[in-house]
Chains A and B, each alone.
Chain A
């Protein structure tokens, strides 16, 4: 084929192009890693791109994948060509409809970027556990192993489903294929059109539901016919392999690209064959080529059609000479005799042998193994190990490859030094950058330039860490003359670039450089100083590997061009200049046209600034001659204080942290053996404190002389890096020189001191604390009580101060008023240093929750941003206090969080009931007075809780004594007492009240989890729900939810959401007995504090909807609290509390914000989510903005009326006797002032 017309796309885009062309209805729900397919479709529909028949597909985002499958089913029954895209749990939610669709022989395709199903942990990465979980639904299953295949087989799937009537699940490996950018020969529309079976399409349409020729579908059947009916479609399924084979032949005739339902490559007389499907075929094929070239008799059988399983084709495709077959599955099925592909292959071979067809010279030995779960690397070395195993007399069955299983010893060893010779002329490069510096975007662009301009085959794959702020990105690029099949990371790079000097201390970037490689470093230092500041390891590798070393001060060049920290184009120019992949002038012109393409639509300024940076890039590029600077002096680090080493960071931590967490933090988790991991997915709390990522360039520094003790800085800090402690002066003994403190202004705590301290290595430098600080210097207004200062000048000092500060004991919780900002801010936070975005609007609420109730808190957390920054390894921000108490946190799924949290509540109550019953039974032994004091305790505030903890501690002492004294004596009831005491011992703590919070984002609460949330609200049970409302699906990249406001642009609302935001609070209030509050911490922090306290105290269900600023709003995140203020001032986000009361004439609804004092237009004009629409479609934007203003006016008017409405709760109390919550001092019910001082 003519490679000059090749395109460079990732797997998702390649598939989406085909699916879009062949669909009329696309029902969607975002889920990683499949979301981009739907987003592409949405973008194209927004641009009115037609499908093959000239219409624009109807793209609809649903409330869940279950909803998407339902809509798909309906569209199919109506005779529309329909598709959807999904992965993992999303696919599982489609299962019921998948059974229906297949049972009804409705032709459809679901494209799946295959991803791990959450088990002991969630994973967004790729394996086949999702698709394998639906293999019984009756859908045909077609697997692609590369980006090119994903495009081509997408078409085969769409063609074959129409002909066969059997629906198709087309899958490819999540991330490895879905997100790999690759050179692909695209499909012309006429090729796509020619693959569509017109007769079949007409038949499909004529079968559709119609009142003009009515019939009935979805009947209920009885034992008499169901079974026969189930067998009635057999012939359709049996025909599928033939139809797919025919479609593949037709495809080959049109494109020249050959595919088979199974496909064998390798020695015709192979004795050892590996069977697998998906992207793992790449390295196996490379090894087969290499080994056969060396005369070894090996081969690879790629399986493309997995359902209906093409048994006879598979047996026929195997060479008759085969003696040993290893079947590799990218999934795990605990308890089965083997993984699915293994069982099927083995059965197919056995059945062929049974049929006396004697296809093989000798009966081959068949073994099965697992590889690549959750995108675990699968390399040629591992493939080689499998072939080696097959050569053994007694190869291991049910093996694993790619890990070290030192527990059940399933794993094969592999030679980690094994490397294949790289194809002639291939070039490999790796780039280390930060998420915010644009490295990945630039590299995607470079791949495209190289592919489009030079005709080379290119590949780009991008690896991220799990943080949303200060995240490290590693880009792996290959290009050469042949299609790149290497579906694994680059390990021997010809070119290594490090885009941030500081990364050298965090990552061993030169480990990936091959000898004589070129190394490009962005360095802010002069040449000699650069050399001195390199970590010693890097200097040694440069010398040992004779690396050609270049530096450029890209920050200076970008900054001179007014581009801030966006160094991507500068580094890109240097890359092209150093590698010579094309003439530099040509590369520069290509980069400029890419800049024009990307930024041109945003105006000339950005384009011109990038052009200036591009033109200046090479001026600063210099070769470093390392030997000039020998002998190597002691490295001085990237800054005076240097980053802490991992061993420094985890010194004194638990064994687990030192042996496991530290390894994960060092990005060496692949080396951990099975025995190192928990068997049930439980991990220790409070581990972010060991991260010390030191990512801020500026940190806040406190000036106590003008501090007013208000606590606002600590209250808004998204990363809990601003800490407040109140202590008596004697705590200052041994304080480092210059440790800052001031007299704490308090009637009750006179003589106490206050210190506000930054955690310098944990701060992200977002600046929110400074923005909210109300204390301005009398003599210089811009100097506040807290000010951002360069980290290099302050880190060492602040580190020392923070070290001392950390060891100051926390103040007794009982001494602080919890219903004030100042008091709450001093409470010990048990949520700290999360990986959330700098300036995150969600985390202040979460942290506040941990301060108010952390020592008795149970959290059910919906999947989303909060579960990622809350629980993505290597560390968790959820901590514990000096007594070892802290929030117990769990994530179940996205869709079920309310129910999950309710279950936790039910479990808690069951345990309390059991404890109460046991306590009563042991009354004589532990003393009736203690029993009644424990059972009658009110626990209405901190003091009472503390007292109850004391009583329970006494009780536990007695119980321990009972167990010790009477345990094992048996008989006469004493054994029973000991047993009861032992049981009560583990339950006694539940006699102290706990606080159950169900936390999640708006995607969960408004959409996918709404049914469950509604049910939990209706249950009357004592649970608290915190909705972190960013008004968009934040974690998956800004898709619209039903919380998205009218007039905002979001994914799936590219032309502005036309419908108003759902009023979740009013829905909840309709029950009458649900506590509801709408809060915005940046607008009114005291109202937020009171709402959380009241919600907790309310004995029934409570719902707190918290306005959470997000980067998806398109705002300067350092100003996010001002945006919250404006949201409230404009009436866009009214603050209120609905407090169900049993008083007869109660007026439960209180408006806590003032009448709107600015037009909504003024608020929305400052956020790009709205402003972007005003630029693209000014008239439409104006229309929507006017409607939004009307929404706001109407809602304010409605709320104002509600504020006078009397309503009395008739409900007797929650079923199940739920305990009342505890609220500290509670609330006096007054409307908190918006300007607490």
Chain B
């Protein structure tokens, strides 16, 4: 018996994965060559970068407006660009790329849609299914700034979106949520009711920075830090016992080492998604993550991932209330010790 014998197999969205470590959306997963390296390194599944609804719409409009600019405005120029060949749209490129990645890897490929509301674009869900996606991740990303819009209306619209996508995609759909819901436990249940096969906890909001010199908002992307795992850990632990066991849960954000993976599995994740670590250390990092995970499991006398999974969630935990209260006192104490 050695760590090599530890069984890493898991199930996610009904898909049998040989490892719980999933490469979440990043430039690595969108590129055929690096996707293949991820697959070769043993990753359990690959989530493609998101197809952004806003991106599609904005690019189409921008190009169209630019091509029309100056057309038939003065006698010497009918327009300012050569005839555009019939070119694939952003979505078609995405579909083509999905097919290429799918052909290059031998693990499940999960397509990803980023959208905010039901709309005609949801045809892409069907397109992605047709192109060979094994599952779909629906990233609900929205900053609601309209003061006239109340929380209930927002949630209703989002549920409608989930329902619409699930119906059209005819694929298992995981919904990637933000942690900022007033009643997340309730909403998670509704999402399942709307047809979702799983949930990814959580997406990271793009938070632009402010340039104080220019007083301008500037885009600034920071990779996740290990600290960020705490929030998903907590909610996985809470939601795991509340949701049917058939509902898949994925941990995302702040997974940097095998111990992070183990923690997420322990609180009930079926898979653990990582991006930052892979971007930082390369696709081959999957291999060492898995080796480390095996070693950890072996050293802690687990023979499989399924054994560990959910062992520390609310029901399994000795003190079920601890996670719900966020163990406020303990946190303060640890501060006192380290500080």
Contacts and interface: CB of A to CB of B under 8 A. Distances in A.
Interface in A1032-1070: 1032, 1034-1038, 1049-1054
A468 interface: yes
Interface stretch (B76-84, B168-176, B194-202): B76-84
B116 to A, nearest CB: 15
A548 interface: no
B109 to A, nearest CB: 20
A606 B70 contact: no
B82 A39 contact: yes
B215 interface: yes
Nearest to B124: A604
A1036 B70 CA distance: 11
B74 A471 contact: yes
Nearest to B86: A601
A32 B75 contact: yes
A602 B67 contact: yes
A1169 B81 contact: yes
A1111 B61 CA distance: 16
A736 to B, nearest CB: 33
A583 to B, nearest CB: 28
Contact of B72 (A175, A435, A1053, A1054): A435
B56 A605 contact: yes
A1036 B81 contact: no
B38 to A, nearest CB: 21
Contacts of A1117: 69
B37 to A, nearest CB: 19
Nearest to B77: A1037
A601 B87 contact: yes
A603 B56 contact: yes
A606 B87 contact: no
Contacts of B88: 1175
B68 A438 contact: yes
B278 interface: no
A1156 B84 CA distance: 32
Interface string A755-781: 000000000000000000000100001
Interface in B170-218: 215
A605 B80 contact: no
A566 B76 contact: no
A781 B215 contact: yes
B93 interface: yes
Interface string B246-280: 00000000000000000000000000000000000
A585 B171 CA distance: 39
B281 interface: no
Nearest to A782: B215
A605 to B, nearest CB: 4
B60 interface: yes
Contacts of A1049: 81-82
A871 to B, nearest CB: 14
Nearest to B75: A464
A1131 interface: no
B131 interface: no
B73 interface: yes
Contacts of A566: 68
A602 B77 contact: no
B147 interface: no
B60 A1176 contact: no
Contacts of A175: 75
Interface residues of B, number: 39
A427 interface: no
A46 interface: yes
B63 interface: yes
A662 interface: no
A441 B91 CA distance: 28
B225 interface: no
A42 B77 contact: no
Contacts of B4: none
B85 interface: yes
B64 A1037 contact: no
A593 B46 CA distance: 40
Nearest to B85: A1176
Contacts, number: 150
A1171 interface: yes
A1178 interface: yes
B89 A604 contact: yes
Contact of A1112 (B65, B74, B80): B80
Contact of A1111 (B76, B80, B83): B80
B76 A124 contact: yes
B93 to A, nearest CB: 7
A36 B78 contact: yes
Given A1049-B82, A1051-B82, A1115-B66, A1037 B76 contact: yes
B2 interface: no
Interface string B40-63: 000000000000000011011111
Contacts of A441: 68, 71-72
A594 to B, nearest CB: 14
Nearest to B123: A604
B70 A1112 contact: yes
B120 A1178 contact: no
Contacts of B90: 603, 1175
A1169 B70 CA distance: 14
B129 to A, nearest CB: 18
A319 B272 CA distance: 96
A605 B75 contact: no
B215 A1054 contact: no
A599 B64 contact: yes
B73 A471 contact: yes
A1168 B68 contact: no
B46 to A, nearest CB: 21
A33 interface: yes
A852 B65 CA distance: 36
Contact of A42 (B82, B87, B93): B82
Contacts of B74: 435, 464, 466-468, 471
B273 to A, nearest CB: 27
A440 B74 CA distance: 10
Nearest to B90: A603
A1114 interface: yes
A43 B83 contact: yes
A1168 B60 contact: no
A565 to B, nearest CB: 10
B61 A1051 contact: no
Contacts of A33: 75-76
Contacts of B121: 604
Interface string A1087-1125: 000000000000000000000001110111100000000
A603 B80 contact: no
Interface in B6-65: 56-57, 59-65
A1216 B27 CA distance: 64
Interface of A: 32-33, 35-36, 39, 42-43, 46-47, 124, 175, 179, 435-436, 438, 440-441, 444, 462, 464, 466-468, 471, 473, 564, 566, 599-606, 608, 776, 781, 837, 868, 1032, 1034-1038, 1049-1054, 1110-1112, 1114-1117, 1168-1169, 1171-1172, 1175-1176, 1178
* A-B pairs, 9 with minimum CB distance: A435-B73, A1037-B77, A603-B60, A1114-B66, A440-B72, A1038-B80, A1054-B82, A1168-B66, A1112-B80
Interface of B: 56-57, 59-91, 93, 120-121, 215
29 contacts: A33-B76, A46-B82, A47-B83, A47-B85, A435-B73, A435-B74, A601-B84, A601-B86, A603-B60, A605-B56, A606-B60, A776-B215, A837-B70, A1034-B80, A1036-B76, A1036-B77, A1037-B76, A1038-B80, A1051-B82, A1053-B82, A1054-B85, A1111-B70, A1114-B63, A1116-B65, A1117-B69, A1172-B84, A1175-B89, A1175-B93, A1176-B87
Given A602-B60, A1116-B62, 16 more contacts: A438-B72, A441-B68, A441-B71, A462-B72, A464-B74, A602-B84, A604-B60, A606-B64, A1032-B80, A1037-B78, A1049-B81, A1110-B80, A1114-B80, A1114-B81, A1168-B67, A1175-B88
